């Protein structure tokens, strides 16, 4: 069974601080996605990474896919209260489905 | 921006009843999915649908579940005889290509079985 473990599970930081969220697995994924989910809403796709070692930037968010395609990280620079939410990684398993990680709940305090 | 639409947003049903959850995927997408999220737990894959047939399903997707694309726009999930443990948020998603860069989730249907 493929599992994606995220760490930390919870994170509470002050506005302006930097943070990194990790997504780890013992399995290789052909691609990996990061989502943000608000309470009562569906996950919203932030990025898809496909190539081992790939780095993608989305404003203050930097996503990296591990060289072996087993892990990924999300780094947020100068966090803002609007970044508060549940961050999910999801690895592509086979052709048609994504396996979701355990989630990291981020709270940014003003 | 194109979106995936799900109805109803909330459904309450008696145990043993049949429910149908409806989804309108993004019009030019080819791949369709159902996921569920039990309160406080992670998002779980149920089923994927491509070229008018199920392409993959999880162990959760047993004989009580079925999916259908009755016309060119709707994609439905039917639960034949609901159980208490079916209570969850059910998310529909659609995707324009295999790699998933256009993977889009709907806002979900909260199913409560009483």
Q: How confident is the model at residue B98 (pLDDT cuts 50, 70, 90)?
A: low
A105 touches B at CB < 8 Å: no
Residue A34 and residue A74 in contact, taking contact as beta carbons nearer than 8 Å: yes
| pLDDT digits 0-9 by tens, A45-103 | 999 999 999 999 999 999 999 999 999 999 999 999 999 999 999 998 877 788 999 99
Of B56, B105, B106, the CB nearest to A97: B56
The average confidence (pLDDT) of chain B is: 92
Cross-strand pairs, A103: none
Residue A64 and residue A91 in contact, taking contact as beta carbons nearer than 8 Å: no
| Sequence-distant (≥ 6) Cβ neighbours of residue B3 within 8 angstroms | B26, B104, B106
A33 touches B at CB < 8 Å: yes
Report the C-alpha gap between A39 and A93 in whole angstroms: 26
DSSP run (H or E) holding B111: strand B109-113
pLDDT on residue A95: 72
| Sequence-distant (≥ 6) Cβ neighbours of residue B6 within 8 angstroms | B21, B22, B23, B24, B90, B91, B92, B106, B107, B108, B109
Mean per-residue pLDDT, B92-104:
77
pLDDT on residue A7: 96
B58 touches A at CB < 8 Å: yes
Query: Is B79 strand, coil or helix?
Result: strand
Cross-strand pairs, B95: B31
pLDDT on residue B83: 96
| pLDDT digits 0-9 by tens, B9-41 | 999 999 999 999 999 999 888 899 999 999 989
In this prediction, what percent of chain B has a pLDDT beyond 90? 76
Q: How confident is the model at residue B100 (pLDDT cuts 50, 70, 90)?
A: low
| pLDDT digits 0-9 by tens, B67-87 | 999 887 899 999 999 999 999
Q: What is the interface size between A and B, counted as CB pairs within 8 Å?
A: 62
Residue A13 and residue A108 in contact, taking contact as beta carbons nearer than 8 Å: yes
pLDDT on residue B51: 87
């Amino acid at each position: 069974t493929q599992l994606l473990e995220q760490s930390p599970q919870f994170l509470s930081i002050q506005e302006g601080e930097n943070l990194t969220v990790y997504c780890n697995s013992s399995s290789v994924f052909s691609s990996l996605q990061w989502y943000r989910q608000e309470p009562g809403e569906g996950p919203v796709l932030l990025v898809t990474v496909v190539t081992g070692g790939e780095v993608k930037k989305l404003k203050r968010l930097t996503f990296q896919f591990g060289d072996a395609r087993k892990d990924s990280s999300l780094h947020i620079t100068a966090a803002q209260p609007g970044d508060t939410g549940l961050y999910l990684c999801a690895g592509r398993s086979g052709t048609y489905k994504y396996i979701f990680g355990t989630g990291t709940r981020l709270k940014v305090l003003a | 921006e194109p979106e995936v639409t799900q109805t109803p947003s909330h459904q309450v049903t008696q145990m043993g009843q049949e429910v149908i959850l409806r989804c309108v995927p993004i019009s030019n997408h080819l791949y369709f999915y159902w996921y569920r999220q039990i309160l406080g737990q992670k998002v779980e894959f149920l089923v994927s649908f491509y070229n008018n047939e199920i392409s993959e399903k999880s162990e959760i997707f047993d004989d009580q579940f079925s999916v259908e694309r009755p016309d060119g726009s709707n994609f439905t999930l039917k639960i034949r005889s609901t159980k208490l443990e079916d209570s969850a948020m059910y998310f529909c998603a659609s995707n324009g290509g295999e790699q998933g860069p256009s993977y889009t989730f709907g806002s979900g249907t909260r199913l409560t079985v009483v």
